[in-house]
Chain A
Amino acid sequence: MADILLHLANGFVDCLTPLNLAMLFIGIVLGLLIGVLPGLTLVMGVALALPFTYRLGVTPSIVLLTAIYVSGTYGGAFTAILFRIPGEPIDVPMLWDGYTMARKGKPAKALGWTLVAALGGGLLAAVIMVVLTHPLARFALRFSSPEYFAVLLFGLTSVVALGRGSLGNALISLAAGMLIATVGTDETYGAYRFTFGSRVLADGIEFLVVMVGVYGIGEVLARLEKGFTGRPIERVANARTELPTLREISAIKSMFLRSSLLGTVIGLIPGAGATIASFVSYGLEAQFGKRKKEMGTGVAEGIVAPQAAATASVGGALVPLLALGIPGSGATAVILGAFMLHGIQPGPQVLATSSAIVYAVFASLFLGLALMCLLGYFAIQPLVKILDFPEAAVSAYVMMLCFVGALSIRNNIVDLWLMIGFGVIGYLFEKFKFPVAPLVLGVILGPLAEGAFMNSMISFGNDWTIFFTRPIAGTIMVFTFAMLMLPFVQQWRARRVAAA
């Protein structure tokens, strides 16, 4: 433990360099703006920032992206509470009690509860993250290729099972992502796969092209089809934050702790990100909480439960990313991509080889949460003012950032064409209700899963049973199967409820 604290102290020192602090500040501001603007999603924001990290070192890059990720879970609450516009799906539960509290004449109080929930939930998750990552990574050092394959498969299936859209569509999306990742030169045989004689394609398709395409261009096209027509905004003369008293916080401390822990645990599960944490936490409070009958009428519990869980899920999601190298969400997939761009593969080895970077990221999360809340408290007026900005202009700028991202990868126009292609695919996926997260995870995790699978087959003489007979791999496989069954159980229960 003393060792961890020492590393963390060094992480704080690393984090306090002018460049890292600047990245932290920029990331927090960008995350809050992305959260506020309904046209921009959290993952899109993190993906769009990725190309700009090329010239940065690995630590400032990860600090920037993590800061966007964490503050993106908070900024959307402002507009949900004040204008009934959820900036992100995460913020939908905020409409039920946050907006209601605001309508009852207490918008400042609702914003105060949000701030306290984000800070408390985020800090608790950050502590758990620091404590848990090292032991988990140490445990993962015992993994061989079958265990890695099992873990990767678990990550891929849980993204499918816990995401949006039908299970079938999610599986198709995942398969498409895995196929995109196979384009290029095979590492074992040096054989060309789906390259069509193109030298650029022989180097493979950069995951960044896919991510920026589907999340950036795809989402802008989807909004363009809707004519950039957001909901009309009610004017709030004086947006400000009023913090709850210590007595008020103390009255809900157990519920606060429960929601934060729940958010952290949900964040730990690959595929279950901030949105699920937010909804599940609200749902649990509505079913089992002390004031369950008052939920939806503008009570503090209805604000704290989703917000604390959503922000806590960030710390939770960083644990499997750093300890196992498995991103649990679109945003952590982009952060994994940033690590890989700088030649670092997160996983059990990273704490041994690059612990300074990991602890700087940990420290940045603590500092970022504090900064996020300070900005949220003092800068709420200019932040919500951004909604006055025309959506067409914001979207045009997003498109421009996408173009820069594509052109800066390999200085090749082919990447721009590919990105436009993936943008159209992203739009079509959205249109026909195929979730894009499995596609992106398939692109990133597909090659890792293929490598682990091939190594297992070579090492164990093509014995398929190895994934089920080794204790750790077998256990993870059982969880994988259970995860895949989850939507069917959900469907069966819904049918039973409907029949009753």
Chain B
Amino acid sequence: MDSSAIRSSLPYFVGLAVAALLYFLVRQIEYAERPGMLGPDFWPTAAILLMATVCVFEILRAFAGMRSQAQGIAEVLETDDSAPPALTYPRTLVGGIVLVVVYAVVVDVIGFLLSTFLFLVAFMYLGRYRNHAVIWIFSTGAILLSALIFMRFAYVSLPRGWPPFDAVTDFVRIMLGG
């Protein structure tokens, strides 16, 4: 079996699996049927069928060895040959995703200000930026500015954090005259 066909059709197998799962879930929707009316499962079913049909078509196309695809007009227009192929850093990407997930876990506990400050510092180091002074000053400035905008003027309700971390939020708020 052609390995390139398997590789190129992999996203569509995933799409097909997602469609199958969603179809199973759509069948579980509970509602009282009304005669002569389409149910609440009709629209999602139509979207699932669209997704599944296209996935099947793309899989067949990949295995039939048809390489050229109909492209959106912008795709045809936008080809910029001048851009050199870029190096990739998959570990950095994984690090970034982990950092974001950790942020979501701790933001409620240690509060928005502290968690975001730590996130900014860690993210810049992760992004291979090494000017330490800029990193720490920028992060501090960004947090103070955000606190000023969101807590003082826009009144956006952001997580304060649990004790003892909420003291940090309260301190910054008092410092900014809140």
Question: Looking at the complex, which one of A86, A175, A403 makes contact with B50 (CB distance below 8 Å)?
Answer: A175
Question: Looking at the complex, which one of B29, B69, B108 makes contact with A168 (CB distance below 8 Å)?
Answer: B69
Are A225 and B88 in contact, with the CB atoms below 8 A? yes
- Given A390-B134, A400-B116, A413-B108, A95 contacting B71 (CB threshold 8 A): no
Question: Looking at the complex, which one of B38, B48, B54, B80 makes contact with A454 (CB distance below 8 Å)?
Answer: B38
- Chain A residues near B47 (CB-CB < 8 A): 175, 178-179, 182, 446
CA A191 to CA B157, docked complex, whole Å: 31
Looking at chain A, what size class is its interface with the partner chain? Answer: 35 or more
B176 on interface, CB distance cutoff 8 Å: no
Chain A 439-455 near chain B by CB (<8 Å), digits 1 or 0:
00000001000100110
B86 on interface, CB distance cutoff 8 Å: yes
Chain A 200-234 near chain B by CB (<8 Å), digits 1 or 0:
00000000000000000100110011111100000
The minimal Cβ–Cβ distance linking A488 to chain B, given in whole angstroms, is: 5
A10 on interface, CB distance cutoff 8 Å: no
A171 on interface, CB distance cutoff 8 Å: yes
CA A174 to CA B51, docked complex, whole Å: 9
Chain B 83-102 near chain A by CB (<8 Å), digits 1 or 0:
00011111011001100110
- Chain A residues near B96 (CB-CB < 8 A): 220-221, 224
- Chain B residues near A408 (CB-CB < 8 A): 150, 156-158
B138 on interface, CB distance cutoff 8 Å: yes
- Chain B residues near A257 (CB-CB < 8 A): none
Are A457 and B104 in contact, with the CB atoms below 8 A? no
Are B131 and A225 in contact, with the CB atoms below 8 A? no
The minimal Cβ–Cβ distance linking B172 to chain A, given in whole angstroms, is: 15
Are A393 and B124 in contact, with the CB atoms below 8 A? yes
Residue of B nearest to A454 (CB): B38
A404 on interface, CB distance cutoff 8 Å: yes
Residue of B nearest to A438 (CB): B72
- Given A179-B47, A391-B127, A407-B156, A462 contacting B36 (CB threshold 8 A): yes
- Given A182-B44, A224-B127, A400-B119, A420 contacting B101 (CB threshold 8 A): yes
Are B89 and A167 in contact, with the CB atoms below 8 A? no
Are A168 and B123 in contact, with the CB atoms below 8 A? no
Are B78 and A89 in contact, with the CB atoms below 8 A? yes
CA A92 to CA B25, docked complex, whole Å: 44
Are B11 and A432 in contact, with the CB atoms below 8 A? yes
CA A221 to CA B51, docked complex, whole Å: 26
Residue of B nearest to A160 (CB): B72
- Chain A residues near B48 (CB-CB < 8 A): 175, 179
A294 on interface, CB distance cutoff 8 Å: no
- Chain B residues near A52 (CB-CB < 8 A): 154
Residue of A nearest to B68 (CB): A491
Stretch from A70-78, A245-253, A275-283, A466-474 that touches the partner:
A275-283
Are B75 and A164 in contact, with the CB atoms below 8 A? yes
Task: Tell me which residues from 53 to 88 in chain B have a Cβ below 8 Å from any Cβ of chain A.
Answer: 54-55, 57-58, 61, 68-78, 80, 82, 86-88
- Chain B residues near A108 (CB-CB < 8 A): none
A16 on interface, CB distance cutoff 8 Å: no
CA A411 to CA B41, docked complex, whole Å: 30
Chain B 106-140 near chain A by CB (<8 Å), digits 1 or 0:
01100010001001100110111101001100110
Question: Looking at the complex, which one of B12, B39, B42, B71 makes contact with A167 (CB distance below 8 Å)?
Answer: B71
CA A188 to CA B87, docked complex, whole Å: 51
Are A226 and B78 in contact, with the CB atoms below 8 A? no
- Chain A residues near B32 (CB-CB < 8 A): 189
The minimal Cβ–Cβ distance linking A421 to chain B, given in whole angstroms, is: 10
A321 on interface, CB distance cutoff 8 Å: no
The minimal Cβ–Cβ distance linking A215 to chain B, given in whole angstroms, is: 15
- Given A221-B96, A395-B123, A413-B107, A166 contacting B72 (CB threshold 8 A): yes
Are B129 and A393 in contact, with the CB atoms below 8 A? yes
Are B87 and A229 in contact, with the CB atoms below 8 A? yes
CA A416 to CA B129, docked complex, whole Å: 26
- Chain A residues near B73 (CB-CB < 8 A): 161-163, 272, 276, 486-487, 490
A434 on interface, CB distance cutoff 8 Å: yes
A125 on interface, CB distance cutoff 8 Å: no
B178 on interface, CB distance cutoff 8 Å: no
Residue of A nearest to B123 (CB): A396
A424 on interface, CB distance cutoff 8 Å: yes
- Chain B residues near A221 (CB-CB < 8 A): 93, 96-97
CA A193 to CA B31, docked complex, whole Å: 10
The minimal Cβ–Cβ distance linking B124 to chain A, given in whole angstroms, is: 5
A105 on interface, CB distance cutoff 8 Å: no
The minimal Cβ–Cβ distance linking B11 to chain A, given in whole angstroms, is: 5
- Given A92-B80, A176-B51, A407-B159, A396 contacting B87 (CB threshold 8 A): no
Question: Looking at the complex, which one of B12, B40, B75, B104 makes contact with A416 (CB distance below 8 Å)?
Answer: B104
Are B44 and A403 in contact, with the CB atoms below 8 A? no
Chain A 397-431 near chain B by CB (<8 Å), digits 1 or 0:
10110011001100101001100100110010000
The minimal Cβ–Cβ distance linking A133 to chain B, given in whole angstroms, is: 25
Are A164 and B78 in contact, with the CB atoms below 8 A? yes
Question: Looking at the complex, which one of A188, A397, A457 makes contact with B142 (CB distance below 8 Å)?
Answer: A397
- Chain B residues near A461 (CB-CB < 8 A): 36
Are A172 and B71 in contact, with the CB atoms below 8 A? no
- Chain A to chain B contacts (Cβ below 8 Å), 17 pairs: A55-B156, A165-B71, A178-B44, A191-B31, A225-B92, A227-B88, A227-B127, A275-B78, A276-B77, A279-B74, A392-B129, A393-B134, A399-B119, A403-B112, A435-B72, A462-B37, A462-B38
In the complex, given contacts A164-B71, A166-B71, what are 12 additional A-B residue pairs having Cβ atoms less than 8 angstroms apart? A55-B155, A92-B78, A161-B72, A170-B72, A172-B55, A191-B30, A191-B40, A392-B127, A404-B156, A413-B159, A486-B73, A487-B71
